[in-house]
Amino acid sequence: MTRCLDCGSERIADQCPSCGLTSAAAEVMFRRRLLKRTAVFLLGSLAFPYLSQIYPPLELDLMLVFFGLIFFVALAIAVVLERRGRNRQDLEALKRLYSGFIPLPWILSATLLVNGTLDAKQNVTYHPTTVDSRYNMPGIVRGTRRLFVHSWREGQRIERLAVNSDDFDRFHSGDAVFVGVKPGALGIPWYFGVYRR
């Protein structure tokens, strides 16, 4: 049984009884929609790393791994969809799965944005600690800079702070610092700043 690529109804003839598109027209419509959805997904995928630099959660690296996983699975689905569409194969289930992925980077971005912007101004907690080491991976856009400090949280040895380039250059291992942390409006603690003590 074949289904219309555009609306998903069963088709017996070349023209879909439901939306009236021929199989060639349905393929064009399907491709156009796939491109649009992928653009929406990619835009959200740019917003998330950007916001994660402004309101970096303490568990940023864990979130980035999760985000990376979503990103590559979604793109793999898009590639398979494109190929199946070209071969006019059934892709209803995969289409539905893909639409589930489209809003994910936007949901993650909105979570960071709300968590950071709606956080009350005065409630920074300053934790005294020392710098353990630093890590710098030059990247195409902004790179990844981490200041590793000894953790103040129980059961955690080290905190990996997503610092900006100024703070990264300012501190070295052994420095005594205060780390400012905000609780987050959604309960996701995020790194606010690092200061010399």
By CB under 5 A, name the binding residues for Zn ion.
Answer: 4, 6-7, 16, 18-19
**What are residue 159's phi and psi, to 5 degrees?**
-110, 135
Residue 21 CB, shortest distance to Zn ion, in Å, is 5
CA of 9: how far to CAs of 25, 80, 99, 186, in Å?
Answer: 14, 20, 18, 42
Residue 8 CB, shortest distance to Zn ion, in Å, is 7
18 or 144, CB closer to Zn ion?
18
Sequence-ordered alpha helix ranges (H) in the chain: 23-54, 60-86, 92-101, 104-117, 165-170
Separation of alpha carbons 87 and 100, rounded Å = 23
Residue 39 CB, shortest distance to Zn ion, in Å, is 23
29 or 42, CB closer to Zn ion?
29
Structure tokens at 130: 């020392």
The CB-side HSE value for 101 (13 A sphere, CA atoms) comes to 25
Residue 11 CB, shortest distance to Zn ion, in Å, is 7
1 or 120, CB closer to Zn ion?
1
16 or 108, CB closer to Zn ion?
16
Separation of alpha carbons 29 and 49, rounded Å = 31
**What are residue 115's phi and psi, to 5 degrees?**
-60, -40
17 or 103, CB closer to Zn ion?
17
Residue 2 CB, shortest distance to Zn ion, in Å, is 11
